[in-house]
Amino acid sequence: MKTRSNSPPIQKRAFVISLFLTLSFVSLAIVSTWAAESLTAPNVFDVRQFGAKGDGKTLDTAAIQKALDECGDAGGGIVRFPAGTYLSQPIFLHSRTTFHLEAGAVLQATDKRADFANPEKTNSFIAFVTGKDLHDVVISGPGVIDGAGTPWWGPAEAARRRTPGYVLPRPVMIVLANCTNVRVQNVTLQNSPLTHLALKACEEAVISNVTVQTPSGAANTDAIDPINCKNVLITRCRVDTGDDNISIKSEGAVPGRTSASEDITVTDCVFLHGHGMSIGAATVGGVRNVTVRNCTFEDTENGIRIKSLRGRGGTVENIRFSDITMKHVNPAITFTCYYMTNSAGDPVQRFAPEQDPAQPVTVTTPVFRNIGVSNLTATCQGPAGIIIGLPESPISNVVLENIRITAATTGLSIRNAKGIRFKNVTVINKEGPPFILENAEVEGVKAGSY
């Protein structure tokens, strides 16, 4: 059965995505050149020259902020951290600044709750490192930024188990908001209380060779979250964390854009513990033109995931996953419009209601369409995966090609879906049929295999 679509075919979208990837690497080269020039420019502001001790005991906030402010006042340059441990409260960046941590340098957040309290809002916190309304910003390594998250994780996990889906307020490690020409490179981000790197309404951002590491049980510690962003490249990153390895979100419409989040590429990344490569759950402003390719996953909850739900949904379209290898994931593929408590580690498991009549379509109804997955190999600790739309909004126009999934339990469940096409798809599982179809139009499945 064939389904009509007004959207461009997979081949045309592949060309568009390939073109964007090429332009992204051009942008990377441009920003890299600017960063290199900044590192050798005469405007170098060594934090020790402003009084920072770097002994891990003295509070160096004032000295660090003074160096940042002087750099901003001078029209830009490099703020340099020699080897040492710099204990600090929240700090704020300026435009045309390279924030450079040399080998052996650690920017260490304090572990005092009061240091991060937002004076303008009760039970709210400001980020450890903030950049707002800036341009030409580089955060570079090979040093480390440590968020001192240990005191925050226990209460957060307890709160999540009491109320599934609840996120206890905590500080984000780095927030870059409404910034253009951003580069985060070669640095290690670790132990954030909440998300490590949040890009909000940013354009032309390149995240490369970044290591993110946090214990696997640290709740809500996403590694990299582009939110309402355009033209973002995330490449050659190594992520081992307690929640989404990467999560692309859209939290409302952006003037002048079809989708709030668009033209985002993730390549050559390694995902260890974490909740996988995600789009959502907030998709209300729309997400389109996302490419994920040549990535490996090991011991993650979820592999590739698109997630949303009624009330937080929008259109997610023109998404391409290719050349993906997964080992011991749980599961490999999760495309769901019933997001909530459907990760392996959640205290309550619920993929979708047994009975759910169609509801009126609104502007916040999830719409998933025009999705391609190719050249994916996976072994799963549990089921192979799910593709589950809403009865009033089926997931549509999904092509799975050259897929091989070995699952320890059940196969691939497809429900409320149309225009699903299989080309050389193999699922080997131990419980039940390899494909479980309900209200689903699927091409390429052999009779008797479901």
Tell me the pLDDT band of 35, cut-offs 50, 70 and 90.
very low
Domain assignment present for residue 163? The answer is no
Average pLDDT score over residue span 158-165? 86
Amino acid sitting at position 109: A
Domain assignment present for residue 119? The answer is no
pLDDT for res 448: 65
- pTM listed for this prediction: 0.90
Domain assignment present for residue 449? The answer is no
Inform me whether the pLDDT recorded for 365 exceeds 70.
Answer: yes
Inform me whether the pLDDT recorded for 14 exceeds 60.
Answer: no
Domain assignment present for residue 117? The answer is no
Contact 324/295 with Cβ under 8 angstroms? yes
Query: How many structural domains compose the chain?
Result: 1
Inform me whether the pLDDT recorded for 427 exceeds 90.
Answer: yes
Inform me whether the pLDDT recorded for 9 exceeds 50.
Answer: no
Inform me whether the pLDDT recorded for 137 exceeds 80.
Answer: yes
Higher pLDDT, 41 or 204: 204
pLDDT for res 355: 81
Domain assignment present for residue 450? The answer is no
Tell me the pLDDT band of 15, cut-offs 50, 70 and 90.
very low
Domain assignment present for residue 185? The answer is yes
Burial of 163 (0-12, 13-18, 19+ CB in 10 A): exposed
Domain assignment present for residue 260? The answer is yes
Tell me the pLDDT band of 447, cut-offs 50, 70 and 90.
low
Tell me the pLDDT band of 354, cut-offs 50, 70 and 90.
confident
pLDDT for res 449: 79
pLDDT for res 33: 47
Average pLDDT score over residue span 125-144? 98
- 244: CATH: 2.160.20.10
pLDDT for res 7: 39
Average pLDDT score over residue span 104-115? 97
Tokens of 281: 């759950």
The parent domain of residue 55 ranges over 10-112+128-156+172-443
Q: What is the mean pLDDT of the chain?
A: 90
Domain assignment present for residue 3? The answer is no
